[in-house]
Structure 1
Amino acid sequence: MIGILRIFYGAEGTKPWLVLACLLLAGIFEGIGLASLLPLLSLAINDGAAEGSALVGYVESALAVVGLKPELGLLLALVVGAIFLKGLLTVVAMSYVGYAVAEVATGLRADLIGRLLKVRWGYFTHQPVGRIANAVSVDATRSGHAYLMAANFQVNAIQTVVYSVVAALVSWQLALAALALGGVIALSLHFLVRITKKAGRRQTERTSELVIYLSDALSNIKPLKAMARAGKFANLFDRKIRQLKRALRRQVISQYALKNLEEMLVAVVIGIGFYFAVTRWQVPVSQLLVMGILLYQAVSSVGKMQRQFQKAVLLESPYWSMRTLIEEAAAAEEPNPGRAVPSLVRGCSLESVTFAHDSEKILDAVSLEIPAGGLTVITGASGSGKTTLIDLLLGLHQPQSGRILIDGVPLGEIDLQAWRGLVGYVPQELILFHDTVLANITLGDPNLGEAEVREALEAAGAWDFVSAMPQGPHSVVGEKGAKLSGGQRQRIALARALATKPKLLILDEVTSALDPRTERDICQNIDALSRDMTVLAITHREAWTEIAERTFRLEQGVVTLVKDEGTLKRPA
């Protein structure tokens, strides 16, 4: 129960005390309406039940304070008005709850995405993308519904208090019997709540695992289909789907079992009590009706409160799963203590840089200079550490020893965001979004319009084929750019890197999967671009070393200068 209350009172962007105040006022008006019911019925059927009734005495005393008498019309207006105000306040409260549900779901999504964009690069190397996708799409929605169920739980809790108080005014024995009866029924059926909570937790876990599997499968669907192994791969999903089905089945069974068993038990007890009240105790009809209504409402409200609690615990696990993921991302936030603003006038350098993944040494006391302007190439076999060197230069990893300098200033003293803002980067495994060419280049940057996009496309040698597409730069490229050829995807990625007019352009094996002619065309584009910016290319292809001013070879963690023309091209 504590977890449910924490969701209601602790969810960010909500006003739980406003909801609680409206619900309390609604409960008070409902109590007034119920309290006026006994004298109203007594007057209507004239059975004398009002005489000697403590509840009727309280109502008459309250009316006397304002100079009114308990007449039929007044009592009827009082009952109707109280019920009307109770309904109005409940609608106001629950309308805000509807707003808060959307606020909770979207707030969790925004918080998670914001945290993820600030984490260290190493966080993503061990975090399944499917877990994040499931959290943003499924868990966030269910978390919003958890807040709704927690609010409904508050409604039923207040109603239980109201009915118990009014019942106590009629007869404290009645109130005690109602609470005892409701408590016994709730305790006897609480095992169904535990089953539901366990099933909800399993649903959250199995759904996350299923989305992780599916995300990985769709990322590799082409080779699976090419080898006719998609059907066999589906066997991996079967166990997760069976487990998810069992969890969902238990949820449904336990929810309906709780509701119907409660109603059956309450009906039996009310029926027995009504029989004895009429045949043995000769209770007046009006008083019996009011007592029956109060008893039924009090007992039922305990049952409703338990059912809302059951629904809330079912949806509790995705909320806390989201909070856990957000906290993990917050703990992995990338530090950025530097304050110096870089300019890249002189160049970059590494001084005796050593780096290792776990116990495997990747770079061993590497030192090299990358002068500003011109094209510098780093070659080496696959796995020699070329990409790791780039990651260190960008501050994505930290060296175990040595220094990385930008214009002579240690990278640790430089504002990483400002430094990366000077960089255009084309990775080896480029990814285009299932969106337009324009969106793939601007990446949501409001400072980049169609004019800047066209300029970047022309610089990358991509404008001719983009302008020939059905909708030009507004054409959708397909999933991961599937509607484009390999060379076209590389040029779009290059245009994306050039759109912000970077001072340093980093290219990581950008032509490794291209044919010689396409590679030659891209090399010509890069050669022309290197006259106006610093270009650092990671490659093992000979076409790049032919146009480079300076070439380094990286082998077994050691770097060697193999080409240096001495005179680098400078901006005209």
Structure 2
Amino acid sequence: MDISYFKKHRGFFSDLIALPVFMRSSFDLLLASIGINVLGLALPVVLMQVYDRIVPTRATSTLIWLVAGFMVALLMETALRLCRTTITNWMSARFEHDIGDSCVGRWVNCVLEDFEKDGAGVHLDRLRAVNTLRSFYAGQAFQLMLDLPFAFLFLAVAGFLGGWQVAAFLGGVALVFLCITAFIRSSYSRNRQKQRNQADRRYNFLVEVLSGIHAVKSLTLEESMLRRHERLESEAAQHDYDVIFIGNLPVSIGNFFSQLNLFGVLFIGGTLAISGQITLGSLAGCTLLSGRFFQPFRSLASFWVRHADIEIAKGQISDIVNLREESNRDAPCLPEEIQGRIVLNNISYTPDGSDEKVFEGLNLLVEDGKMVCINTDSERLPTLLLNLIYGLNQPDNGQVFIDGNDLSEFCHSDYQGRMEYIPQQGTLFNGTIYENLTLFNPANRQVALDAASLLQLDSVLSELPLGYETKVGNRLYEFLPTGVIQRICLARALTVRPRILLLDRVNESMDQDSEKLFFWLMGKLKGNCTIVMATSSPAMHAMADSVHSIVDGKLRQEKS
């Protein structure tokens, strides 16, 4: 399902018209709705027959058959409603799966700079909008669209039984109700946006405090943060009250108009019955039809008012759609076997949010199996350069070639076995250490254990009660030294035996033992794979085949 739809289409009635696009089983639902609404005429017809024919003639046997027929119709209607609910629930689940999968797919394939503009919490909050959209595009709103045309069928039958006066009254009441709903909807939309803005402020505050809880405690800011949170909570409670109050108005007013419909039909129909223009059976049928006629309009009013939630949710999904895609996922992957030759040809690059180019006419040649160091005089520029080589960022001009393959023509979502990138701060995924080493693929077990042994993780992890089965992730690995974490990340990278290894100041967060082991490992890997490393370590510079510094947007070679 193309999530870009939510960026292009706006408006309640536009969404209603577009609903069948999302409903692959819309024809089945249409047939079920036709059956439900046609069978809904059974009770008015039965009442009319009872009052006009059966009671005056005392036809008991006919009454029994009529009741039996009505019970059959009632059971059929109930079965059809159950089937329709089952279908819509299944479509809701499928809708949530498709949209959620598309959103996550956009995240993992987006340009890194776009993703990092907002925190992970903000992105997860946007994903929650899928539940709101599901209730509209694959829930009761679609049933409403199917039931609404049948409201006019009930109006026509009521007019036929009770005369044009009854039909005109019912239509007028529905029109007045929708006009009032339009005013409520405008007010609800304004207050809902205020609530949303306040919720964003409160959410950002909580993320800020919880992520910096150590600083809050060290600076004794607990009382200040608590007072600020109380103010935000107070404002949020007021906005919540306004939104809930206005959002419930269509239901309350709908109950009033529903009663008005009933008594209006009784008054007008009763007057016509007294004058002999309609029968008592027709009057009874009209009272039931008035409720069936008005029910879809009550549902329409509720959805119309709360459509402001849908617009906000579509805006959140649009924020995900606006993330630029890193590469075309339909593009071919790099060849399975590469030698590891890297060429940067006349690279120019301007980071997002900056007006100044950080690279201008930059060139670099790394032959396969060579080790090249980028001096980290600037902490930011070497990282940007590695990101360009790995394809995380796209150059404004120029090309990045791997074995003569232009990276811009290939999908960047799968480099395993070809290129591996390890940042300065290693990250462990939620799971066990063993699962992190194997990348959750049991087939990599032996290779992962060999890599871990090479980095002497056996002796370190043996001190943990569960060893390789120790749970990490979700900040549960803070008990591990950073050097050990980096060793795990290195072993994980070596598990897939990459031909190109990109290292961003990996050794700078290591302890002395881990750094010593790291130098030994680089000596072993040199000549067996291509290594590009951002580091200020003189020992690594001495080991490297060449050392470069970034000066005025270009690479200047310091050692060859």
Do the structures match in fold with TM over 0.5? yes
- Give the whole-Å Cα distance in 2 for the aligned partners of 1:370 and 1:381: 21
2:324 counterpart of 1:334: no
Distance 2:280 2:411 in 1: 82
Q: 2:540 matched to 1:544? A: yes
Which of 475, 492, 497 is the equivalent residue of 1:496? Answer: 492
Give yes or no for contact 1:140–1:318 (8 Å, CA) kept in 2: no
TM-aligned CA distance change 1:551 to 1:343, over 3 Å: farther
2:417 and 2:497 in contact (8 A); partners too: no
Match of 1:316 in 2: 310
The one-character-per-residue Cα deviations of 1:67-100 (angstroms, maximum 9, x if unpaired) are xx99323322232222221221111111111112
Does residue 1:5 correspond to 2:16, yes or no? Answer: yes
2:319 counterpart of 1:325 = yes
1:242-281 to 2 correspondence within 5 Å? Answer: 244-268=236-260, 270-271=262-263, 274=266, 278=270, 281=273
1:38 pairs with one of 48, 58, 82: 48
Consecutive unaligned residues in structure 1, runs of 5 or more: 51-68, 565-572
**C-alpha separation between the residues in 2 aligned to 1:419 and 1:98?**
39
What are the residue-to-residue correspondences of 1:31-180 with 2, within 5 Å? 31-46=41-56, 71-136=62-127, 138-147=128-137, 148-154=139-145, 156-158=147-149, 160-173=151-164, 174-180=166-172
Structure 1 residue 33 displacement after superposition: 3.9
- For the residue of structure 2 that corresponds to 1:479, the secondary structure is coil
Contact 2:327–2:411, Cα closer than 8 Å, also in 1: no
TM-score (norm: length of structure 1): 0.82
Alignment of 1:525 with 2:516, yes or no, is: no
The one-letter code sitting in structure 2 at the alignment partner of 1:16 is: S
Q: Any idea what SS the aligned residue of 1:505 has?
A: strand
CA distance in 2, matches of 1:367, 1:265: 75
**Structure 1 Cα separation of the partners of residues 479 and 418 of structure 2:** 30
Matches of 1:194 and 1:161, distance apart in 2:
27
**Distance in 1 between residues matched to 2:501 and 2:377, nearest whole Å:** 22
Counterparts in 2 of 1:350 and 1:301: CA distance versus 1, 3 Å: closer
Cα separation, 2, equivalents of 1:436 and 1:186: 58
- State the distance in 1 between where 2:57 and 2:246 align: 45
1:15 offset after TM fit, Å? 2.3
Query: Does 2:33 align with 1:16?
Result: no
Q: Is the 8 A contact 1:129 1:212 kept in 2?
A: no
- Match of 2:62, as an amino acid? E
CA distance in 2, matches of 1:406, 1:303: 63
Question: What amino acid is aligned across from residue 145 of structure 1 in structure 2?
Answer: S
* Equivalent position SS for 1:345: coil
1:263 shift after superposition: 2.1
Query: Structure 1 residues 376 and 200, CA, compared in 2 at 3 Å: closer, same or farther?
Result: same
Q: Pairwise mapping of residues 193-232 of structure 1 onto structure 2 (< 5 A)?
A: 193-204=185-196, 206-207=198-199, 210-215=202-207, 217-229=209-221, 232=224
Residue 62 of structure 1 corresponds to: none
Match of 1:472 in 2: 467
Closer, same or farther: CA 253–118 of 1 in aligned 2, 3 Å: same
Structure 2 residue 187 is matched with structure 1 residue 192? no
Distance in 2 separating the partners of 1:231 and 1:100? 49
Separation in 2 of the partners of 1:395 and 1:268? 66
Against the structure 1 CA distance between its residues 203 and 317, is the aligned structure 2 distance closer, same or farther, given a 3 Å change threshold?
Answer: farther
2:5 counterpart residue number? none
| Alpha-carbon separation, structure 1, partners of 2:187 and 2:61 | 51
Greater mean deviation of Cα atoms: 481-490 or 390-399: 390-399
Q: Distance in 1 between matches of 2:181 and 2:557?
A: 77
TM-aligned CA distance change 1:213 to 1:524, over 3 Å: farther
AA of the residue aligned to 2:283: L
- Distance (Å, rounded) in 2 between the aligned partners of 1:522 and 1:81: 79
Any conservation in 1 of the 2:327–2:412 contact (CA below 8 Å)? no
Deviations 1:116-157 (A, max 9, x none): 222233422434433321122x21122222232313423652
* 1:302 has 2:297 as partner: yes
C-alpha distance in 1 between matches for 2:27 and 2:256: 36
Query: Quick check: 1:119–1:332 contact (8 Å CA) kept in 2?
Result: yes
The sequence identity of aligned pairs, in percent, is 17
Task: Check conservation: 1:40, 1:76, Cα contact below 8 A.
Answer: no
Change (3 A) 1:548 1:533: same
Q: Which amino acid aligns with 2:478?
A: A
The amino acid of 1:332's aligned partner reads E
One-letter amino acid of the counterpart of residue 301, structure 2:
Q
How many Å apart are 1:391 and its aligned residue? Answer: 1.9
Question: Which residue of structure 2 aligns with residue 59 of structure 1?
Answer: none
Are 1:461 and 2:456 counterparts?
yes
User: Relative to structure 1, is the Cα distance of residues 334 and 239 closer, same or farther in structure 2, using a 3 angstrom cutoff?
Assistant: farther
Q: Say which is worse superposed, 510-519 or 207-216, in terms of deviation.
A: 207-216
| Structure 1 stretch displaced more, 279-288 or 171-180 | 279-288
CA contact (8 A) 2:343 2:402 kept: yes
Structure 1, 261-270 or 454-463: larger mean CA deviation: 261-270
Give the structure 1 partner of residue 478 of structure 2.
Answer: 482
Is contact 2:343-2:365 (8 Å) kept? yes
Task: Report what 2:4 is aligned to.
Answer: none
Give unpaired runs (5+ residues) of structure 2. 1-11
TM-score (norm. length: structure 2): 0.84
